[in-house]
Amino acid sequence: MLYMKNRPLTVCILGIILMIHVCALTASDGIQLDVITNLYRLLQEEDTDGDKKITINDHYIAGEKGNKKFWLIDINGKKYEVCGTYFLSNLLQELKLMEEKGYRIASLKRDRIYESPVHRISRLIRDSYWRGLTRKISEESLPSIIKDPKVSTKDNFRYIYVPYDDSLAFNYYQDISKIHPELRLKVLFLPKLITPEWVRNLDGYHGLLSLALKCNEDGKLEAVPYVVPGGRFNEMYGWDSYFILLGLISDEKIELAKAMVDNFVYEINHYGKILNANRTYYLTRSQPPFLTSMARAVYEKLPHNPENKKWLRKVLSAAIKEYYNVWMGEKRLTRTGLSRYYGEGFGPPPEVEPGHFNVVYARYARRYSMNIKDFEEAYRNGKIKDPELFSFFKHDRAMRESGHDKTYRWDDRCADFVTVDLNSLLYGTEMDIAQTIKEVFKDSLVLESGKVEKSSTWFERAKKRRKLINKYLWDSEYGLFFDHDIVNNQRKVYISATVFYPLWAGLATKEQAELIVENATPFLEMPGGLAASSKESRGEISITRPQRQWDYPYGWAPHQIMAWIGLINYGYGEIACRLAYRWLYTITRNAVDFNGTITEKYNVVKRTHQVFVEYGNVGTKFSYITKEGFGWTNASYQIGIKLLPEDLYKKLENLIPPEWIWGY
C-alpha cells in the first residue's frame, strides 16, 4: 500500500476498507476510461478559476471543488485517486490529448500522470513542442499562417512578396493562389532595389517574405521548414533561431536545424541580410549575427562528405557576403573600427501594436498643440517632420536590431554605441570563418562568386577586432567589458548579461575572464538564473520611467545559454552548472505549478513567469495543454539538463515528491 508519511491511522484504515472499490494506477497497466466524462468532471471540480488549466491559482471553494483531489472512474466504475496540482494538470493534459485524437474510451497509464517534471518537460519539448513550432510557407500551411493578425491589410488581401529574381518562388505561390482563391492571396515581386522609402510606402499592404524552396524525393517543389519562437508567431526570426537550432541539435533534429540555416542563406542571397524576421516591414534591419556558429554546429553533426562540404561552402559564402555588406558596411561600421546596430527606415516600426508609442507622441503633440492621435497621423503621413522624433526612431530601430527591445542600457540612443555583444559575435564570426577555412578547406576557400578567401586573412581580422574591443570596451577599473558611446567618446558603465559574450566568443584573456566572473556574477546571479542587467545599472523605476523587459529583474534564455558556454570555455563549469540549475528550477517550478507553462522570459528574482511588462509574456495563453512552449526557452532546457551533474539533475527531478494514493 502507498500512502503519505505521517498520514493519520484512520485514513489508512479507511484506505483498506476502500480497497475493494479503489485500484492503483500502475506503471505497467493502463485503465480503460471514458475520456470525455472524466475530462469535464475534472474541469468542473478542479478548474475553479475557469481558465481550462489546473494551477496553484485554482483555490478551494465550497464543497470539495479545488481541493486538489480527484477520483478517476474507469468503465467498470472502479476509482483511482489522483492528488496534487502537478499530477492533476498532467491528468488534464493526457485526457485532452486523448479527446483531440478522437478517443471516447481510452487506456490511461500511471506513468504519464506521475512522470517526473524534468522527464515530462524534456520529452514534450523533444517529441511535441518542436513540431508545434515548425512552420512552412506551403499550400498546407498557408491557410493558418495568413490568419495571423500581423499580416492584416487595408484591402483584406494577404500578400506574399518574393525576390525580383526568384521566378521559381513566384510561380510556386501564384499556383497556390489560383488553386485556393478563398485565401485571397496576392503574390508580388519585390523591386530590385529595396529602399526604406519603398518599405514605408507598404504600410497597409505588408506581407510575408518567401523563404527557401527545395525539390523533394518526387522531384516536386516544397517549402523548407523553419521553427518559430512561439505559438503566436508564423515568421522565422533572426537571433532566436541560433538558440532554437542548438536545442534542435541537442534533440538530434539535425535536418530541421540544417533547414534553418538554408533559409538564412536564402535571406542573405535574396534580401541582403538575415532579417529580423521574414516580413516586409523587417527588410531594413537584421538581428545579432550567428550564422557561422549555426553552420559549424550543424556541420559537426553531418557526415563530412563532398555534398555537405559543398553545403558548408555555400553557407560561408553567404555569411561572408553579409559580413562585408551589412556589418562592415557604411551604416554599421564606425570610426572606431568596431560595428554598431543600425536599422534603416523612417518613422515608427510598423509591427508594434497601436498605442505603443503614445507616451513618446504625447511629448511632441503638446509641442504642436495637437492631440496624440492627430499628431501621430500627421507624423506618419509626413506632414510633420521633427528631427528629434526622427532621431528617436533611428535609435529605436537599432535597439530592435540588437534583439534587446527594450532596455535602459543605451538611454534610447542605441545607434550611438558600439556594443560588447555585437562585436563579440563578429569576432566569433571571423574566428569561425578562419577556423573553418583552415580545417575544412585547407586554408583557402573559393566562394560562389569566385573570390578566394584565406584563413590567414580572417585570423588577422579577428586579431584586429580583439585589439579594438580591448581598446574601446574593456574597462580596467571595473574589470568588465562595457559598450562604448561613440558620440561622447566614453564607455557606458552598465552591467548587462552580455558581459559574458566575450567568454562565449573566446576573445577574453584568462585574467579578464576571472575578473568578469568575480565582478559581474554577484550583480547578475539571482535565485532563478542570470538577470538581464544589474538592479543598480537599471536604475530607479517610476511612472515616467517604467520597467523594461531586457533589464533587471527579468531573465532570458539566450543570456543563460551564452553565459553557460562562456563559463565552461574558461574552466568555470561549476558556476555554469549552478546558474543552469537556478534557471532550470525556475522553468520547472513554473511548469509544475501552472499546467506545463513554458514562457519567453522569467522574473528571475521571484522565479516566476508572471511578468507584466511591455509586451507581456509569450507562452501563457493556452487552454488545457501547451503545444509549443517557447523556442529558446525550450532549447535552454534541453541544453541545460545535459550540463547538470548527477546530484543537481536528481535534485531537479525530485522537485515534486510522490503524492500518496490509495490502492494495491
> If pLDDT is split at 50, 70 and 90, which confidence band does 23 have?
very low
Euclidean distance between CA atoms 337 and 359, whole angstroms = 36
pLDDT at 63: 75
Q: How confident is the model at residue 22 (pLDDT cuts 50, 70, 90)?
A: very low
Look at residue 140 and tell me whether its pLDDT is greater than 70: yes
Options 421, 432, 551, 600, the catalytic residue: 600
pTM: 0.94
pLDDT in tens, 611-659: 988 888 999 999 999 999 999 999 999 999 999 999 999 999 988 765 5
Q: Is the separation of the CB atoms in 127 and 155 below 8 Å?
A: no
- Minimal CA–CA distance to 331: which of 323, 322, 340? 340
Q: Is residue 420 within 8 Å of 501, Cβ to Cβ? A: yes
Contact 97, 127 (CB under 8 A): no
Max Cα-Cα span within the chain:
85
- Confidence (pLDDT) at 27: 38
DSSP E strands in 64-220: the ranges are: 69-73, 79-83, 105-109, 134-135, 158-162, 185-189, 208-209, 213-215
Q: What is the pLDDT of residue 5?
A: 36
- 447, with CB counted inside 10 A (0-12, 13-18, 19+), is middle
Q: How big is the chain by its Cα radius of gyration, in Å?
A: 27
Provide the CB-side half-sphere exposure for 515 (13 A, CA): 14
Give the Å distances, CA to CA, from 356 to 77, 359, 657.
56, 8, 45
**pLDDT for residue 616:** 83
* Catalytic status, residue 396: no
Beta bridge partners of 213: 223
Scanning the structure block, which residue is given the C-alpha cell 534542435? Answer: 248
pLDDT tens, 549-576? 999 999 999 999 999 999 999 999 999 9
Catalytic residue among 405, 416, 430, 551: 405
Model confidence over 576-612: pLDDT tens digits?
A: 999 999 999 999 999 999 999 999 999 999 999 999 8
Return the SS3 of 521: helix
Cβ neighbours for 10, distance < 8 A, ≥ 6 positions apart: none
Whether 34 is a known active-site residue: answer no
Give the pLDDT mean for 407-415. 97
Give residue-wise pLDDT tens across range 91-108: 999 999 999 999 999 999
